[in-house]
Every structure is written in structure tokens, then in C-alpha cells.
Amino acid sequence: METVSTAPAPGPAQQQHQGRSPLALYALTVGAFGIGTTEFVIMGLLLQLATDLHVSVATAGLLISGYALGVFVGAPLLTAAMSRVPRKTALLALMAIFTLGNLACALAPGYGVLMAARVVTSLAHGTFFGVGAVVATSLVPADRKASAISTMFTGLTVATLLGVPAGAWLGLHHGWRSTFWAVSLIGLIAMAVIALFVPRREAGNGSAVSLREEFKVLRRVHVLLGLLSTVLGFAGVFLVFTYVQPLLTQVSGFDEAGVSAILLVFGCGMIVGNIAGGHLADRALVPTLLGSLAVLALVLLLMGFAMESRVAAVLFVGLLGAAGFATVAPLQLRVLHSAHGDGQSMASSLNIAAFNLGNALGAWLGGAVIDHGPGLARLPWAAAVLTAAGLAVAWISVRTGRGGQ
């Protein structure tokens, strides 16, 4: 909300609130780090899980799909259930679910219980990021809202860069259960810092929003177009990233030991792209939205030519991380702007669910391309087509009306 020049100077309470805002953002970042770690660390534990639980690697891999589908289902359900709960209380409750879910994973006696615990844990994911994004944007001036979102999502990118390798190392040396014990500890730390630093009533959250008002956002065409842009645009990232190990070993010619180091390049790219996307979206949301999706599609297109060269492959893995996560803040802020008012928490949570639906869609289509299509080496081109479809939807949304620009 803009203020006129005659507005009174902020009082002591407001000044304290403004001073606490950066710490509140970092508290949200800690929660995002824990959630990001538990989502992706399973990729580095599949062999240990499969051996210990006496299941195939493919069956163990379903723990990833189960989590993604849990996020997709849980985001609207928990957001609806917490529609009358103050946002700080909701964030603490979600981190409690997350922590208890990871404790259940650490104690799981078998595969079935582990899958159920993963699904329970995933239920908190979408709503935490959705509500967290609304809280983050309420803590900063209007010209820093996208940067606030990217600050929170930095926890997710750092989790990919540091948390996942650390969790995989713990699992390798101390058993896979130790990883879930460690993530549970992160959950407790996140609850503590959120309790300490997130204000009880952030700006723009003066009263609870009814469940009916929350679901009204689904009547807004630009919200629906924004969600579809997220699904299609981000699906291209995971169509490639899900199969990055076989791409690097079978197409680029790296040995398996070299893949971990290359994934660090991807993680660094994620951090750079996430921060850049937030800053650019603050300056010009729509051009950044369309431009980042266009750049991502171009990177994927060129990646299809580059993977046969080792040097180019490493470069484009980094560019994929940067281009892919440069889209996150503008995609999230676009949906928030399209919701404009009551129902922002639901719209924001649904967009997190859309990211995860895109992950699942990309992984599934990638498997189809490998098994029934042009094959492994052509995955980046298929991904480019998918992201281009997301760009087209975003362009249609912009052309058919303001939709929260």
C-alpha cells in the first residue's frame, strides 16, 4: 500500500516491526531449507533405502513421487483448513507437522510406514511455502516483494546445494535414518526462529479470511492461467533434471563419481538465478516473467546440442539451474498479484502445488521420451517444448488483461 507524503511518521511499534522484518525473512528461509532438504535428499538415499527395506530401486523411487503428489494434494487442503488461523500460528503448526513427519521417517520399521510418513511430511510443504510467500511479501515495501519471495526460496536452493549432499553423506556413513533425524532437528530450529522473529500480525493480515473467500480465487482466470504457466514452464526443468545422472554419464561421458561435483554447479546456478529473478521481477514483473521463461526455453533448446561436449554439458547444467530458478519468484508473484487481496494464501499455496505437479509431470514425460520417444539425448528438446508452452500461456494471460500486473 502506498503512503502519501502527509502520513505520520511510523511509531515505535512500527519501527520495531520494520527492524524485525529481515530476521523474519531469514526465519522463513530456515524453514524452507529444512523442507527443501527433506524433499530432495531422498535422491541420494535410494540405494541404501532399497537395500535396507528390501525393495527395488524403482520402488524406492516412488518415495519421491509420493512426496510430490502429497504436496499437490496437501497445499489446498491444509490452506483451507487453516484459513481462519493467524499466519504465524499456521507456519508453526506446519513446521510441527514437518518435524513429526521426519521423526516418523527416522523410526519407520518398513517401506509402507516410510511412504506414509513421507506423505504426511509433504502435506506441510505447499502450504508452508504458500503462506510463507504471503507473509514474506507483507514484511517488505511494495518494490521488494519479489526479492522477499526469492529470499525465502533461497533456503530451498541452499538445501539443494548443501543440505542434500550433507544428508546423503550422513546416510552413507551413519545410515539413512540419521538423515531424517538431522532434518527433524532442522525442523525444531525452524520452529524456534519463526516463533522468535516472525511478527504475530504481519502487515495486511489484520483479520482472518473465510474459506469461501479463499476459494474465490479459482474463479479468476488469470490465477488459473498463472497456475498453468507454472506447471508447464517448470515441468521443463524437471524433465531434464530428473534424468541428469544418465544424461551426464551416457550422453556426455562422465563417470558416476563426477556427477556429484557437476550437481554443485547446478546448485550454484539455482542460487544465482533465484536471486536475480527476484530482483528483476521487483523492477518489472511481466517482462521478467516472460523473459525468464523464454531464456529457460532457449537454454533447454541449446542444451540438446551441448550435452555431447563435456565442457558444454557442465556449463549448461549450471545455466539450467540459473534459468530454471529465475522463473520462481516472478511465477509466484504473478499469481499473488492475480489473486490481489482475499484468497492470496490459497492462490500462493496452489502455485507451490503447481510447481510440484510440474515436477511430477516433467519426470513422467521424461520417462516416456526415453522409453517410447526419441530417447535420452533428446530430453532437453522435449523440455524446451514444454517450457515454451508455459511461456505461451503466460503471454496469453498478459495479452488478455492486466491480471495483476
pLDDT in tens, 241-269: 878 878 888 899 888 777 778 888 888 99
Do 359 and 381 sit in the same domain of this protein?
Answer: yes
Residue 30 has pLDDT above 80, yes or no: yes
Does residue 235 form part of some domain? yes
Does residue 287 form part of some domain? yes
Nearest residue to 300 via CA among 317, 314, 277, 280: 317
Does residue 15 form part of some domain? no
The Cα–Cα gap between 164 and 125 comes to 17
Give the mean pLDDT of the chain: 84
Q: Count how many domains the chain has.
A: 2
Question: Domain ends where: 172, 202, 232?
Answer: 202
Cα-based angle 41, 46, 52 (whole degrees, multiple of 5): 120
* DSSP code of residue 284: -
Question: Domain ends where: 171, 202, 233?
Answer: 202
Residue 208 has pLDDT above 70, yes or no: no
Residue 17 has pLDDT above 50, yes or no: no
Most confident listed range (142-151, 175-184, 193-202): 175-184
Does residue 11 form part of some domain? no
Do 224 and 334 sit in the same domain of this protein?
Answer: yes
Does residue 77 form part of some domain? yes
Do 194 and 233 sit in the same domain of this protein?
Answer: no
Do 380 and 310 sit in the same domain of this protein?
Answer: yes
Place of cell 522435449: 382
Domain with 95 in it: what CATH number? 1.20.1250.20
Do 185 and 147 sit in the same domain of this protein?
Answer: yes
pLDDT (0 to 100) of residue 404? 44
The upper half-sphere exposure of residue 48, i.e. CA atoms within 13 Å in the direction of its Cβ, equals 18
Most confident listed range (64-73, 182-191, 194-203): 182-191
pLDDT (0 to 100) of residue 178? 94
What share of the chain in percent tops pLDDT 90? 41
pLDDT in tens, 337-352: 888 766 777 888 888 8
pLDDT in tens, 156-191: 888 878 887 888 788 888 999 999 999 999 999 999
Does residue 82 form part of some domain? yes
- Contacts within 8 Å (CB) and 24+ apart, 267-270: 267/157, 267/160, 267/161, 267/162, 267/321, 268/161, 268/318, 268/321, 269/317, 269/318, 269/319, 269/320, 269/321, 269/322, 269/323, 269/325, 270/157, 270/160, 270/161, 270/321, 270/322, 270/324, 270/325
Question: Domain ends where: 186, 202, 218?
Answer: 202
Do 405 and 286 sit in the same domain of this protein?
Answer: yes
Residue 13 has pLDDT above 70, yes or no: no
pTM confidence score: 0.77
Most confident listed range (42-56, 149-163, 189-203, 272-286): 272-286
Does residue 398 form part of some domain? yes
Nearest residue to 116 via CA among 69, 170, 80, 159: 69
Do 92 and 186 sit in the same domain of this protein?
Answer: yes
Q: Which domain does 93 fall in, by range?
A: 20-202
With cut-offs at 50, 70 and 90, classify the pLDDT of residue 5.
very low
The Cα–Cα gap between 386 and 123 comes to 27
Do 58 and 174 sit in the same domain of this protein?
Answer: yes
Do 29 and 175 sit in the same domain of this protein?
Answer: yes
Specify the higher pLDDT residue, 149 or 360: 149
Residue 203 has pLDDT above 60, yes or no: no
